């Protein structure tokens, strides 16, 4: 197991290296004007050149790349240029991550708490009104554009229940609506997957056998079906939890949550290369760690799986 | 499962906590608002973004200020003088100005050397200041920026003694005072700057304050709070104790509702929901127009088209050199219908018949746009159907055989701006309908959202384009830059029969120091530009509608620079101004301003 | 049993020549009867279709979607249709017919500059569906080609797996924004931008399917008989995969339309002079708080939701129907 993890991590570092290099090169294709912001209009071409040279953007690509990696190995991701001038990239990410993690974990917990039971009940009462209601909810969440119903929730539910519209860290009431919005989507997907796996599992022969043996429905549900239905979900759970730090762009924008949502988009649009590179590094590491953790968790819940025989790609 | 249990427990804790109530306290005067454009730095010596220097204007002050009518008044400098040709300016500083830190503790006196240090920072290219280009008005400024001069002592700024600072300029600059209203001439404590290094301006601890407010909280993408500076030299005029900005990326959508719920004191009301507000009994008195700004918008006809052959740039080059053709477009453009896309209620208020906007500069109380020969242009709407068709006939007759009709007119717009896209569609259809499909064929072209200037305007990939220009100082010469030789707009110097006339007129005007003569010459140059229809003046920026408890006529007024962003002098109204109140207040203000300006010039 | 009937017949025919006729009495071979036992009239496609037909909602939605697509095409040619980009001028005021609520003349009302929302929505639906289908088809083609190589060729497995890990971890937003910067904003840019990263998922999915199938006996047999790899992929694997590919496609269409809405939200969508469901919804979003104008948001949202729901349900019903387990 440890050997397996070490091997996976080793490969991952190579992958990370390639990803960051590609992103680094892609970013240098961005138009020069994006670095200048409002000043683009007024600066003369010579002044623009001086400015861009000072940013290091006129060095050959390989030199820029070398400087970046030298910094990286010293644990320095560089400083932001156009997002928050001269503030270290790590500080920016750290400040924002806190908020997204809190909300993200809250939403994951809430959606597991609601979504998994919902899926179980839907499977148990397959084809009846509860199942239909749940399906209706899932279809609604998937089909209606999120930006439409989030805005409605913010405007109307806040009014009906007298809740604050904007997030305020000193007012716990203001946590309710964003959390609720954040959980809507995941509840639907957990319920959907749970229901599907449960139904698959319920049709299997060993369940029929158990029923024939006279095992109580309760025992069947909890110690057989649920446990097995949970296995495929276990694989994705670590990645889901880790990725809560990336935040949600719609919800954080609407409710004024100073989290990570939209940070990447903002940073790219403002062409803050250092911030983008830092974020890409963080996100891809999370993605890779999530995969490894998923495999490990799978191996723990499902004793049939042995790690280390070939690399799984899912 | 333990992990989840933990989260479950914390969630319950959170819900329980949610039942507790929060309390607001304090009866101080507070202004609250939401904003969507985050600032990236507090380093006022580096930034060129409006919302950044808008914040800095309240934290740090420069040598001069303006009153509410736009008359220069002493700021940190209590008096000043210049030599006859306006190349050397000497300022005497006030005694009682202190630098304070983020807790309001006194750190140092503001001295003449602080202004030298500030300019030194700006002009040092490695500091990447975006406002350095404006500071190059100072002697050897450009040379220092480019590295041709390395000794800052050769640059035209000197601290004569602790309280006297002297600027020597590159050329005669009668409007230099107005430039001092810009962040690049602001002071900085050299010692503090050296101590902080690159971290200067990155958070509220890393700058020093000498202005009306101190940053009490600065959390980007969350909230910033300004509180009154108790050591401020002019603290009696500061009436609002606390200003609270809450970040919301969707402010345009959320702010009106927040205002109605009384959670904020100022909100922009987007045009799209204005109907709703104006038609509702309880909301219609809450909303009013906003003041215009000094960005000028115009349609420029390109004399050096560089776009793809499929749009026939050569054909355009032939027709655009025909004055009748240009005039036909000039008279055919219905600017009101174009303006309806952003201002459907009072479109006239934003239109501008000249390149230089109204209320920018004046000669003894007479507005620049009313000087001869610009007066005739200012007072007549350029849109005239009959004239347009007359010119069309003339142009078609003159160009018969030389050009092919219909002429393809490439009209690009920035795809990042839905209003611009809408407006372009309106202009396209309006021009084609009026002038006829046998005459022109307007081709819309969606330009990229970022890099629009570099992709479209600078390389000349347009036949006609909506462009804008903002002033850099209070002098009409600032509006001539786009059209003189070397400008990156429409290159009128390539027009047939132009013979450098506009450049000559502008050069003559720039040589004058006396405002009366100088402005008249500029007016002549501008009239020539418009009369020849090299450009079609369209509108000014700003405007729009707000619901706000601030009185816009209490704030300091200046057409350029940061003064107008100051909260100093403003107070919070009981209830927001209605549009009628706004209009009458504006009228009264305009009258008072004319008097004040006339008095000031005597 | 039935399999041997023919052989028995052959043997019997041979023996005819050698043995005396009278020794045996021949049972006559009834072809029809033999067929009955030897032939199961199971056809994969027919069964799929049959079980799909059982799902009434899905069938209804399928007809509805086909009707909708047809309608978007014929709509401009119907009588009394307005142009989606023409700005209508009010005859009385001489000004643009702005924000007119739905009425007889403008079925869905007009937008903020006086364009007809009814025709804009259909134009937008056409654009969005085009984007959706184009993206889905391109993704399938690239995804299948890469997935087949990835799953079938053992030599290419490692390099493609590495490539997958890399492409999958480059944030899509970077690629999307970069494409929007480099190319001129427009439909093709959006399609290219979505496909550049979108094929990865499809390739992975198909690869996993192929890995499952490639070692089945009949493929092994083909291989040992010397059938070239590409033929095995096309003749043996592709037909088996058609159903899952169709399923993925039917899900990829609404996903691409949704992605277009998101792109518009972050400011990288189509310019408003080219209507799409994305920019119609985005334009309408600010009107949420204005009850009189909310129709400008609601109509395009409904169209989008209906299309999405229809594709999801059809896709899932088809997946169920295509599963041989459900064919009994």
A15 with C162: Cβ contact below 8 A: yes
- What is the predicted pLDDT for the residue at B27? 63
Q: What are phi and psi of B273, to 5 degrees?
A: -110, 10
With 0-12 / 13-18 / 19 or more C-beta atoms within 10 angstroms meaning exposed / middle / buried, residue B217 is middle
Q: Do the Cβ atoms of B137 and B145 come closer than 8 Å?
A: no
Q: Do the Cβ atoms of A267 and A283 come closer than 8 Å?
A: no
Helix (H) or strand (E) holding B157: strand B157-161
Q: Which of residues 271-310 of A touch B (CB under 8 A)?
A: 271
Q: Chains with ≥3 Cβ pairs under 8 A against B?
A: A, C
pLDDT, tens digit (0-9, with 9 covering 90-100), for C187-197: 888 898 888 88
Among chain C residues, the shortest Cα distance to B450 is held by: C181
Q: What are the angstrom distances between the C-alpha of C1 and each of B260, C27, C29?
A: 83, 17, 15
With 0-12 / 13-18 / 19 or more C-beta atoms within 10 angstroms meaning exposed / middle / buried, residue B79 is exposed
Q: What average pLDDT score do residues A128-155 get?
A: 86
pLDDT, tens digit (0-9, with 9 covering 90-100), for A72-128: 888 888 888 888 888 899 888 888 888 888 899 999 999 999 998 898 888 888 878
B412 has which bridge partners? B445
Counting every residue, how long is chain A?
Answer: 314
Alpha-helical (H) ranges within A125-271 are 129-143, 146-152, 158-160, 176-202, 205-213, 217-219, 226-242, 249-255, 263-269
- What is the predicted pLDDT for the residue at C17? 54
DSSP annotation of A31: -
Q: Which of residues 173-202 of B touch A (CB under 8 A)?
A: 198-202
C169 with A287: Cβ contact below 8 A: yes
- What is the predicted pLDDT for the residue at B1? 36
DSSP annotation of C90: P
What token pair was written down for B105? 């503790």
Peptide bond into B33 cis (omega under 30): no
Chain A contacts of C181, Cβ < 8 Å?
Answer: 29-31, 34
**With b meaning 16 or more CB within 10 Å and e meaning fewer, what string describes B189-203?**
bbebbeebeebbbbb
pLDDT, tens digit (0-9, with 9 covering 90-100), for A181-200: 999 988 998 898 888 888 87
Count how many Cα atoms sit within 13 Å of the Cα of residue B168 in the half-sphere of its side chain: 10
- Cβ of residue B13 closer than 8 Å to a chain A Cβ: no
Q: Do the Cβ atoms of A80 and A95 come closer than 8 Å?
A: no
Counting every residue, how long is chain C?
Answer: 328
* Residue owning tokens 């899509």: C172
What token pair was written down for B405? 């009709």
To the nearest whole Å, the CA of C72 is away from the closest chain B CA by 23
pLDDT, tens digit (0-9, with 9 covering 90-100), for A51-60: 888 888 888 8
What token pair was written down for C92? 């009385």
Chain B contacts of C292, Cβ < 8 Å?
Answer: 275-276, 279
Give the C-alpha separation, B427 to B383, whole Å. 13
B446 with C287: Cβ contact below 8 A: no
DSSP annotation of B468: E
Fold of A95-265: MetI-like fold (1.10.3720)
Q: What are phi and psi of B79, to 5 degrees?
A: -155, 165
Distance of CA B349 to the CA centre of its chain: 17
Q: Which of residues 260-319 of C touch B (CB under 8 A)?
A: 267-268, 270-274, 279, 282-283, 285-293
> Of C136, C42, C53, C49, which is closest to residue C322 (Cα–Cα)?
C49
DSSP annotation of B20: S
* Residue owning tokens 């403002």: A270
* Three-class DSSP category at B473: coil
- What is the predicted pLDDT for the residue at C39? 59
Mutate to test the interface with A, among C146, C169, C204, C279 (most CBs of A within 10 A): C169
- Would you list the domain boundaries of chain A? 95-265
Alpha-helical (H) ranges within B131-218 are 132-135, 141-146, 176-179, 190-196
Q: What's the complex ipTM?
A: 0.80
- Cβ of residue C172 closer than 8 Å to a chain A Cβ: no
- What average pLDDT does chain A have? 84
- What average pLDDT does chain B have? 88
pLDDT, tens digit (0-9, with 9 covering 90-100), for B202-212: 899 999 999 99
Q: What are phi and psi of B219, to 5 degrees?
A: -120, 100
Give the C-alpha separation, C300 to C279, whole Å. 10
Q: What are phi and psi of C309, to 5 degrees?
A: -60, -45
**With b meaning 16 or more CB within 10 Å and e meaning fewer, what string describes A254-267?**
bbbbbbbbbbbbbb
* Three-class DSSP category at B289: strand
Instruction: Considering only the beta carbons, identify the residue of C173, C281, C313 that sits closest to A145.
Output: C281
To the nearest whole Å, the CA of B520 is away from the closest chain A CA by 26
Q: Chains with ≥3 Cβ pairs under 8 A against C?
A: A, B
- What is the predicted pLDDT for the residue at B424? 93
Give the C-alpha separation, B562 to B180, whole Å. 10
- Cβ of residue C185 closer than 8 Å to a chain B Cβ: yes
Give the C-alpha separation, B67 to B237, whole Å. 12
Among chain C residues, the shortest Cα distance to B274 is held by: C290
- What is the predicted pLDDT for the residue at C9? 56
A31 with C181: Cβ contact below 8 A: yes
Give the C-alpha separation, B447 to B189, whole Å. 44
- Cβ of residue C178 closer than 8 Å to a chain A Cβ: yes
Give the C-alpha separation, C118 to B3, whole Å. 52
Chain A contacts of B253, Cβ < 8 Å?
Answer: 151, 254
With 0-12 / 13-18 / 19 or more C-beta atoms within 10 angstroms meaning exposed / middle / buried, residue C95 is middle
- Cβ of residue C170 closer than 8 Å to a chain A Cβ: yes
Q: Do the Cβ atoms of A174 and A102 come closer than 8 Å?
A: no
Q: What are phi and psi of C116, to 5 degrees?
A: -75, 120
A147 with C281: Cβ contact below 8 A: yes
- Cβ of residue C99 closer than 8 Å to a chain B Cβ: yes
- Cβ of residue A175 closer than 8 Å to a chain B Cβ: yes
DSSP annotation of B174: T
Q: Residue A314 — pLDDT band, cuts 50, 70, 90?
A: very low
Helix (H) or strand (E) holding C302: helix C295-322
B449 with C87: Cβ contact below 8 A: no
pLDDT, tens digit (0-9, with 9 covering 90-100), for C231-244: 888 877 877 787 77
How many CB pairs below 8 A link A and C?
98
Give the C-alpha separation, B74 to B563, whole Å. 12
Peptide bond into B578 cis (omega under 30): no
Q: Which of residues 440-469 of B touch C (CB under 8 A)?
A: 444, 446-451
Q: Which residues of chain B have pLDDT under 50?
A: 1-26
The answer to pTM > 0.80 is yes
- What is the predicted pLDDT for the residue at B146? 87
Give the C-alpha separation, B593 to B361, whole Å. 12
B159 has which bridge partners? B165
C287 with B421: Cβ contact below 8 A: no
Q: Which residues of chain C have pLDDT under 70?
A: 1-24, 33-41, 323-328
């Amino acid at each position: 197991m440890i050997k397996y993890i070490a091997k996976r991590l080793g490969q991952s570092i190579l992958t990370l290296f390639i990803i960051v290099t590609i992103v680094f090169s892609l970013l240098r294709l961005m138009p020069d004007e994006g670095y200048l912001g409002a000043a683009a209009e007024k600066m003369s071409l010579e002044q623009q050149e001086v400015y861009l040279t000072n940013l290091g953007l006129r060095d050959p690509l390989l030199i820029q790349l070398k400087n970046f990696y030298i910094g990286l190995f010293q644990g320095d991701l560089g400083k932001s240029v156009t997002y928050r001038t001269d503030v270290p990239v790590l500080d920016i990410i750290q400040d924002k991550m806190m908020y997204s993690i809190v909300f993200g974990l809250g939403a994951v917990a809430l959606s597991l708490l609601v979504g998994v039971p919902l899926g179980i009940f839907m499977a148990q009462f397959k084809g009846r009104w509860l199942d239909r209601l749940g399906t209706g909810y899932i279809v609604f969440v998937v089909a209606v554009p999120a930006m439409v119903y989030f805005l409605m929730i913010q405007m109307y539910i806040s009014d009906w229940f007298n809740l604050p519209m904007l997030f305020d860290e000193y007012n716990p009431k203001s946590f309710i609506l964003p959390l609720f919005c954040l959980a809507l989507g995941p509840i639907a997907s957990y319920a959907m997957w749970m229901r599907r796996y449960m139904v698959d599992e319920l049709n299997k022969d060993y369940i029929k056998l158990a029923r024939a043996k006279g095992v109580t429905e309760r025992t069947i549900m909890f110690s057989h079906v649920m446990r097995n239905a949970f296995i495929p979900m276990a694989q994705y759970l670590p990645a889901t939890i880790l990725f809560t730090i990336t935040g949600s762009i719609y919800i954080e924008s609407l409710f004024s949550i100073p989290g990570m949502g939209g940070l990447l988009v903002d940073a790219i649009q403002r062409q803050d290369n250092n911030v983008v590179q830092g974020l890409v590094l963080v996100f891809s590491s999370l993605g890779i760690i999530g995969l490894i953790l998923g495999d490990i968790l799978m191996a723990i819940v499902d004793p049939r799986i042995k790690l280390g025989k070939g690399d799984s790609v899912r | 499962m333990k992990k989840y249990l933990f989260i479950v427990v914390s969630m319950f804790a959170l819900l329980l906590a949610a039942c507790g109530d929060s309390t607001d306290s304090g009866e101080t005067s507070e202004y609250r608002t939401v904003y969507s454009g985050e600032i990236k730095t507090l380093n006022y010596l580096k930034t060129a973004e409006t919302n950044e220097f808008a914040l800095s204007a309240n934290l740090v002050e420069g040598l001069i200020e303006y009153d509410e009518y736009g008359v220069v008044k002493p700021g940190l400098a209590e008096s000043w003088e210049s030599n006859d040709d306006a190349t050397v300016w000497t300022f005497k500083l006030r005694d009682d100005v202190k630098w304070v830190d983020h807790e309001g503790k006194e750190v140092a006196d503001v001295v003449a050397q602080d202004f030298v240090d500030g300019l030194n920072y700006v002009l040092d290219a490695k500091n990447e200041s975006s406002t350095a280009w404006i500071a190059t008005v100072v002697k050897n400024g450009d040379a220092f920026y480019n590295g041709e001069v390395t000794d800052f002592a050769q640059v035209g700024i000197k601290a004569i003694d602790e309280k006297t600072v002297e600027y020597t300029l590159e050329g005669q600059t009668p409007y230099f005072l107005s430039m001092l209203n810009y962040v690049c001439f602001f002071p900085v404590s050299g010692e503090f700057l050296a101590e902080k290094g690159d971290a200067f301006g990155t958070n509220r601890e890393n700058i020093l304050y000498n202005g009306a407010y101190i940053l009490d909280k600065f959390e980007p993408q969350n909230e910033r709070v300004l509180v009154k500076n108790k050591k401020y030299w002019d603290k009696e005029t500061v009436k609002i104790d606390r200003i609270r900005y809450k970040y919301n990326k969707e402010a345009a959508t959320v702010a009106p509702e927040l205002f109605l719920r009384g959670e904020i004191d100022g909100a922009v009301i987007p045009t799209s929901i204005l109907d709703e507000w104006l038609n509702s009994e309880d909301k219609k008195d809450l909303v009013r127009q906003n003041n215009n700004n000094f960005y000028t918008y115009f349609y420029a006809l390109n004399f050096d088209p560089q776009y793809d052959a499929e749009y026939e740039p050569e054909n355009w080059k032939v027709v655009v050199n025909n004055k009748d053709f240009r005039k036909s477009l000039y008279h055919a453009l219905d600017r009101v219908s174009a303006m309806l896309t952003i201002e459907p209620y009072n479109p006239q208020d934003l239109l501008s018949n000249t390149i230089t906007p109204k209320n920018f500069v004046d000669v003894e109380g007479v507005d620049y746009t009313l000087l001869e020969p610009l007066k005739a242009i200012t007072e007549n709407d350029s849109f005239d159907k009959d004239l347009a068709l007359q010119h069309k006939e003339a142009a078609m007759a003159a160009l018969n055989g030389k050009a092919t009709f219909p002429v393809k007119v490439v009209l690009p717009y920035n795809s990042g701006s839905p209003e611009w896209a809408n407006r372009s569609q309106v202009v396209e259809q309006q021009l084609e309908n009026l002038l006829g499909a046998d005459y022109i064929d307007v081709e819309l072209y969606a330009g990229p959202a970022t890099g629009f200037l570099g992709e479209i305007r600078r390389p000349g990939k347009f036949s006609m384009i909506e462009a804008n220009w903002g002033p850099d100082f209070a002098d009409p010469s600032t509006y001539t830059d786009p059209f003189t030789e070397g400008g990156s707009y429409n290159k009128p110097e390539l027009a047939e029969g132009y013979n450098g006339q506009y450049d000559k007129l502008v050069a003559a005007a720039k040589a004058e120091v006396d405002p009366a003569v100088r402005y008249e010459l500029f007016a002549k140059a501008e009239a020539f530009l418009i009369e020849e229809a090299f450009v079609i003046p369209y509108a000014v920026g700003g405007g729009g509608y707000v619901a706000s408890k601030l009185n816009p006529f209490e704030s300091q007024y200046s057409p350029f620079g940061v003064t107008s962003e100051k909260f100093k002098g403003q107070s919070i109204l009981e209830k927001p101004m209605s549009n009628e109140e706004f209009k009458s207040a504006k009228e009264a203000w305009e009258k008072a301003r004319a008097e004040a300006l006339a008095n000031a010039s005597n | 049993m039935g399999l041997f009937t023919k052989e028995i017949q052959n043997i019997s025919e041979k023996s005819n020549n050698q043995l005396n006729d009278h020794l045996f009495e021949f049972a006559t071979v009834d072809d029809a009867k033999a067929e009955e036992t030897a032939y199961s009239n199971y056809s994969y496609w027919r069964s799929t279709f049959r079980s799909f037909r059982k799902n009434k909602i899905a069938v209804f939605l399928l007809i509805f979607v086909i009707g909708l697509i047809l309608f978007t095409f014929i709509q401009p040619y119907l009588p009394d249709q307005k142009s989606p980009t023409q700005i209508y001028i009010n005859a009385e005021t001489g000004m643009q017919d702005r924000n007119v609520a739905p009425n007889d003349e403008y079925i869905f009302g007009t937008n903020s500059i006086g364009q007809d929302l009814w025709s804009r929505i259909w134009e937008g639906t056409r654009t969005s569906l085009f984007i959706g289908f184009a993206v889905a088809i391109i993704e399938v083609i690239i995804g299948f080609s890469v997935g087949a190589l990835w799953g079938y060729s053992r030599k290419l497995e490692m390099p493609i797996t590495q490539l997958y890990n890399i492409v999958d971890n480059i944030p899509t937003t970077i690629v999307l924004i970069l494409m929007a910067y480099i190319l001129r904003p427009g439909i093709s840019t959006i399609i290219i931008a979505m496909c550049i990263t979108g094929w990865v998922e499809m390739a992975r999915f198909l690869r996993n399917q192929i890995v499952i199938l490639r070692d089945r006996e009949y493929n092994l047999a083909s291989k040992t008989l010397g059938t070239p790899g590409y033929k095995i992929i096309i003749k043996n694997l592709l037909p088996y995969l058609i159903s899952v590919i169709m399923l993925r496609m039917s899900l990829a269409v609404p996903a691409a339309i949704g992605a277009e809405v998101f792109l518009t939200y972050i400011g990288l969508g189509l310019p408003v002079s080219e209507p799409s469901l994305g920019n119609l919804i985005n334009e309408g979003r600010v009107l949420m708080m204005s009850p009189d104008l909310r129709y400008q948001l609601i109509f395009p949202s409904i169209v989008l939701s209906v299309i999405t729901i229809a594709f999801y349900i059809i896709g899932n019903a088809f997946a169920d129907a295509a599963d041989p387990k459900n064919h009994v």
